[in-house]
Amino acid sequence: MSSSRAGLLAASRTLRSLRVPVLADLNLQFKARRSGFTDGQSVESLLLLQIAGGDCPEDLVLLEDDACLERGLGYAVPKARTARDFLERFHDESLAALRPAREAQKSFILPRSPGVVRLQEVQVGLVGNVAQRYMQAGETLKLATVDQDATILESHKRSARAHYEGGRG
């Protein structure tokens, strides 16, 4: 059995060796039911989607129906709707309501939602696990830089908001 996406299994093994899915399960705690995807599987699937070049939940279709990938992961990747529902748990509409009018302030960073705070704990754990790997190898990790940016993705949906460059996204 082969797959054009088999390289994602190496990425999955790296994520798992750094305990990213376990950190997500321990810190996010969104999942209340026994069925469905764990928080760790949702995070792992979305990270693998990004590694594969996807940029929205609908791109998960790229990873669907791949028996080799499914066998290696131990689960089939979620459908787009399931991934969107998971991502929606990080949004807090009451925090979005705090945004000043565009005329008053062109750019605005929302306060962190409880879900985002818990996701940051996953990131803290990941950085700690990387530092631990360095120490096990006899090297000291002196500096860790987490690079994040806000890439604007153009959108023509009615729910898309105007962004600081004048378009909608």
Q: For the chain, what percentages of helix, strand and coil (3-state, to nearest 5) are there? A: 50, 0, 50
Q: Which residue has the higher pLDDT, 102 or 22?
A: 22
Residue 130 lies in a domain: no
Write the DSSP symbol of residue 167.
Answer: S
Three-class secondary structure of residue 59 per DSSP? helix
Determine phi and psi for 3, rounding to 5 degrees: -155, 145
**Would you state the pLDDT for residue 70?**
93
Residue 113: inside a domain: no
pLDDT in the model for residue 85: 93
| Domain assignment present for 67 | yes
Confidence of residue 167 (pLDDT cuts 50, 70, 90): confident
> Is position 11 within any domain?
yes
What gap in Å lies between CA 125 and CA 25, rounded to an integer?
Answer: 12
Q: Which residues, including other chains, have CB under 8 Å from residue 121's CB and lie 6 or more apart?
A: 23, 27
Position 136 in a domain? no
pLDDT of residue 137: 92
Residue 149, pLDDT above cutoff 90: no
Instruction: Return all residues near 16 (Cβ < 8 A) that are at least 6 apart.
Output: 44
| Residue 61 within a domain | yes
Structural domain that includes position 66: 7-88
In the Cβ-directed half-sphere of 53, how many Cα atoms lie within 13 Å?
3
User: What is the structure's pLDDT at 168?
Assistant: 74
Mean of the per-residue pLDDT values for the chain? 87
Query: How many domains does the chain contain in total?
Result: 1
Burial of 17 from C-beta contacts in 10 A (0-12 / 13-18 / 19+): exposed
What is the predicted pLDDT for the residue at 148? 66
In a domain, 144, yes or no: no
Which tens digit of pLDDT belongs to each residue from 62-116?
A: 998 899 999 999 999 999 999 999 999 998 989 888 888 877 877 778 889 999 9
Question: For residues 107 and 100, what is the distance between their CA atoms, to the nearest angstrom?
Answer: 9
Residue bearing the bigger pLDDT, 23 or 148: 23
Percentage of the chain exceeding pLDDT 70: 89
Q: Indicate if the pLDDT at residue 130 is higher than 70.
A: yes
Residue 133 lies in a domain: no
